[in-house]
């Protein structure tokens, strides 16, 4: 899959994720909200080691472990 440069996600996606997390009482770092919003905007799956992304219902996440 070719890599391309993209503009930052729209503010609407970030707001949706932030408000959804706030309603649940969940907090993740704002830079991770930006990552989740970018993933949401393109309909991608996030491959990560950060378990806190599991609270973001708007995206699919795949957790991996390092050995």
Tens-digit pLDDT profile for residues 4-63: 656 667 788 889 999 999 999 998 999 999 999 999 888 999 999 999 999 999 999 999
* pTM for this model (two decimals): 0.78
pLDDT of residue 41: 87
Q: Choose which CATH entry (3.40.50.1010, 3.80.10.10, 2.30.40.10, 3.40.50.1970) describes domain 11-63.
A: 3.40.50.1010
pLDDT of residue 6: 64
Tens-digit pLDDT profile for residues 32-41: 999 999 998 8
Q: What is the DSSP track for the chain? A: ------PPPPHHHHHHHHHHHHHHT----HHHHHHHHHHHHHT-EEEES-GGGGG-TTSEEEE----
pLDDT of residue 65: 80
pLDDT of residue 25: 94
Domain map (residue ranges) of the chain: 11-63
């Amino acid at each position: 899959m070719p890599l391309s440069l993209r503009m930052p996600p729209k503010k609407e996606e970030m707001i949706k994720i932030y408000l959804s997390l706030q309603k649940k009482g969940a907090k993740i770092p704002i830079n991770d909200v930006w990552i989740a919003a970018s993933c949401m905007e393109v309909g991608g799956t996030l491959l990560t080691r950060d378990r806190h992304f599991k609270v973001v219902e708007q995206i699919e996440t795949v957790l991996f472990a390092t050995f």
